[in-house]
């Protein structure tokens, strides 16, 4: 992109004006005081005898925990936001470490709080039913009691949290720092270098030779760092496996199901339909190969644009991306469009790629400021446009719940992807409606390309992570073993539709989700969100503009109900394969369109 300097860096001053700002220091001081008070008081706390006094007592406890989470989430998100845009800054790394140290007692406070609830479980259930102030906390308290049954002693949880700073969390940061720091010589004559993120972005280049060269350099870079990256993954997964068993879970997947607020029946229904859909996705990949003039695609062709002289994917300057997204959001909800416009104008988006900045994209929230921020690496492509729309969907989700207590605004991984997929679909479909018939090809293919990633590639990641956890029980996995497991997973999903000699054995080193100690299996929630978001979009197509307020209410309830109950309120039964099959059928028409081009 030529206008790099026109792409903004985000402004975080409305959150804190730096690590030395009085407001930042005050927030840290309040966290420390709250943690000390709660850690001391909770083990000895006695509940009042009368029912009304007990309800007041419980409401006060919830207020304290909510304040702690508001402050802790904001301070930690702020430190990480600065780190993710400048991973080489020693001062930022040092402060991130100090924040992690400050928050170590947070884990034991939650343990003590859950233990206190468990000691008074019957009274808690009665108070929730009889006191209107507590009714909205019913699911949150029920979930806390579930996790109480899967936690170690306060002393052990405290030790685990403390060790995490120099253990699993440090391994996680290592993966980010390695991939953020990698670069390779792109042009031997001029000495031009490209960062790892820039090489990843070249996967979207229309020139296959460029894509292949970028893929070869990317995999060579990862191979050169395979030993520390494998050590990082082994460190994270080994820690998770140990803590999973110590906490009485059968597997990390069971923990993930609880965190995702879904049942095993829901996951089984989802995965079975994803597997059923693989023949359709292989038809898509064969059609794409034909349109690209290939016998069979390679991994580096997955994001290659399918274009014709009269049908090319548009590119965007930053100001054009803003205008396009705001205009498309307005076709659904003017309030959502106004919010997006404000996010652009207030510099809530960090879009400029640069050395030291990690790859990928994310949305983060600062509950103390009641504001979100969006992180991405914008290169002007149509795909980058979709990424901004996706992350702004997350931000709109937060906008819909920001006034709620933090404990009622903490939605699970599964529902976290709902608003983002809805927003991305809104932009994609509205764009499709604006172009002439002959220009639809690249947009239809882009929609299928995204769907293939979220269904086929996500399924391969699910298979891979499940296999890694199983194998990790017997000891550390070598880089060669990790590569073999990744290729096996890609064989099961992409099958004979992809060139077996040119897959991506090092995807385990690329995806940061594998390295998050507290969020194992952060893959199937994307498929859940994709299909659930498409289901909600289908409701919007049926109901029109009147759906917008209902949509906001669905998002608003996402932090205080199970995913199954949120779906039921939208009219969906997600424990049945039928819902997922209906949502998946959205892609069939597009595959048929591509096959006839």
Q: Would you call 186 helix, strand, or coil by DSSP?
A: strand
Closest to 96 (Cα-Cα) out of 196, 190, 6, 176 = 176
For residue 145, which phi and psi values (nearest 5 degrees)? -70, -35
Cβ partners under 8 Å of residue 174, min gap 6: 228, 232
Q: How far apart are CA 179 and CA 359, in angstroms?
A: 8
Q: Are 59 and 134 in contact (CB under 8 A)?
A: yes
In DSSP notation, 74-142 reads: HHHHHHHHHHHH-TT-HHHHHHHHHHHHHTHHHHHHHHHHHHHHHHTHHHHHHHHHH-HHHHTTHHHHH
Calculate ∠ Cα 363-306-186, nearest 5°: 70
Residue whose entry in the numeric block shows the structure tokens 């385990």: 508
Q: What is the pLDDT of residue 438?
A: 67
| Cα Rg, the chain, nearest whole Å | 24
Q: How far is CA 420 from CA 126, 219, 284, 393, in A?
A: 37, 30, 24, 4
Q: Are 489 and 467 in contact (CB under 8 A)?
A: yes
* Alpha-carbon dihedral angle through residues 549, 550, 553, 559, given to the nearest 10 degrees: -140
- Tell me how far apart the terminal alpha carbons of the chain are, to the nearest angstrom: 30
Residues paired with 187 in a beta bridge: 192
Q: How far apart are CA 536 and CA 529, in angstroms?
A: 10
List the pLDDT tens digit at each of the 597 positions of the chain: 445 668 999 999 999 999 999 999 999 999 999 999 999 999 989 889 899 999 999 999 999 999 999 999 999 999 999 999 999 999 999 999 999 999 999 999 999 999 999 999 999 999 999 999 999 999 999 999 999 999 999 999 999 999 998 999 999 999 999 998 999 999 999 999 999 989 999 999 999 999 999 999 999 999 999 999 999 999 999 999 999 999 999 999 999 999 999 999 999 999 999 999 999 999 999 999 999 999 999 999 999 999 877 667 778 999 999 999 999 999 899 999 999 999 999 999 999 999 899 888 999 999 999 999 999 999 998 889 989 999 999 999 999 999 999 999 999 989 988 899 899 989 987 777 777 766 788 888 988 998 999 999 999 999 999 999 999 999 999 999 999 999 999 999 999 999 999 999 999 999 999 999 999 999 999 999 999 988 898 889 888 888 999 999 999 999 999 999 999 988 889 999 999 999 999 899 999 999 998
Query: Which structure tokens are listed for 131?
Result: 């006191």
Q: How far apart are CA 63 and CA 71, in angstroms?
A: 12
Strand 371-375 vs strand 349-350: parallel, antiparallel, or unpaired?
parallel
Q: How far apart are CA 323 and CA 163, in angstroms?
A: 47
Q: How far apart are CA 35 and CA 29, in angstroms?
A: 10
In DSSP notation, 401-422 reads: HTTS-GGGS---HHHHTHHHHH
Q: Are 427 and 328 in contact (CB under 8 A)?
A: yes
């Amino acid at each position: 992109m030529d206008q790099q300097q026109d792409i903004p860096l985000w402004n975080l001053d409305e959150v804190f004006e730096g690590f030395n700002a009085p407001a930042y220091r005050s927030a840290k001081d309040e966290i420390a005081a709250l943690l000390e008070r709660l850690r001391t008081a909770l083990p000895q706390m006695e509940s009042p005898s009368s029912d009304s006094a007990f309800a007041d007592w419980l409401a006060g406890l919830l207020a304290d925990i909510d304040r702690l989470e508001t402050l802790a989430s904001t301070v930690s998100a702020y430190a990480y936001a600065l780190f993710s845009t400048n991973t080489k800054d020693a001062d930022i790394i040092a402060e991130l470490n100090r924040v992690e140290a400050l928050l170590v007692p947070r884990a034991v406070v939650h343990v003590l709080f859950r233990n206190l609830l468990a000691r008074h479980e019957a009274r808690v259930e009665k108070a929730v039913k009889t006191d209107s102030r507590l009714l909205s906390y019913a699911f949150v308290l029920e979930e806390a009691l579930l996790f109480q049954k899967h936690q170690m002693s306060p002393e052990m949880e405290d030790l685990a949290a403390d060790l995490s700073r120099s253990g699993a969390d440090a391994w996680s940061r290592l993966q980010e720092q390695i991939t953020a720091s990698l670069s390779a010589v792109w042009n031997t004559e001029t000495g031009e270098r490209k960062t790892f993120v820039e090489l990843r972005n070249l996967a979207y280049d229309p020139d296959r030779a460029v894509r292949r060269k970028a893929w070869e350099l990317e995999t060579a870079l990862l191979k050169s760092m395979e030993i520390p990256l494998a050590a990082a993954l082994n460190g994270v997964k080994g820690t998770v496996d140990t803590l999973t068993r110590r906490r009485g879970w059968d597997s990390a997947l069971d923990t993930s199901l609880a965190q995702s607020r879904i049942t095993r029946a829901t996951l089984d229904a989802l995965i079975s339909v994803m597997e059923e859909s693989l023949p359709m996705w292989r038809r898509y990949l064969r059609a794409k190969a034909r349109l690209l003039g290939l016998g069979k695609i390679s991994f580096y062709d997955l994001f290659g644009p399918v274009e014709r002289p009269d049908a090319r994917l548009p590119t965007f300057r930053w100001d054009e991306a803003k205008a396009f997204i705001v205009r498309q959001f307005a076709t659904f909800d003017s309030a959502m469009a106004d919010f997006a416009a404000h996010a652009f104008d207030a510099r809530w988006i960090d879009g400029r790629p640069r050395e030291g900045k990690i790859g990928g994209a994310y949305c983060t929230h600062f509950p103390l400021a009641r504001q979100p921020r969006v992180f991405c690496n914008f290169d002007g492509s149509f795909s980058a446009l979709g990424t901004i729309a996706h992350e702004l969907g997350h931000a709109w989700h937060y906008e819909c719940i920001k006034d709620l207590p933090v404990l009622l605004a903490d939605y699970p991984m599964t529902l976290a992807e709902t608003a983002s997929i809805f927003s991305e679909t809104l932009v994609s479909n509205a764009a499709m409606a604006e172009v002439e018939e002959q220009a639809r090809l690249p947009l239809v293919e882009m929609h299928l390309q995204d769907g293939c990633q979220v269904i086929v590639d996500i399924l391969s990641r699910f298979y891979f992570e499940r296999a890694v956890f199983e194998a990790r029980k017997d000891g550390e996995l070598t880089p060669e073993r990790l590569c073999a497991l990744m290729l096996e997973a890609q064989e099961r999903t992409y099958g004979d539709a992809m060139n077996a000699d040119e897959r991506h054995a090092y995807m385990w080193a690329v995806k940061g989700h594998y390295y998050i100690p507290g969020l194992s299996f952060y893959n199937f929630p994307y498929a859940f969100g994709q299909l659930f978001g498409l289901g909600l979009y289908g409701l919007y197509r049926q109901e029109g503009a009147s759906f917008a307020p209902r949509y906001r209410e669905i998002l608003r309830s996402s932090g205080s109900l199970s995913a199954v109950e949120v779906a039921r309120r939208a009219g969906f039964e997600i424990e049945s394969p039928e819902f997922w099959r209906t949502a998946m059928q959205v892609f069939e028409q597009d595959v048929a369109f591509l096959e006839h081009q």
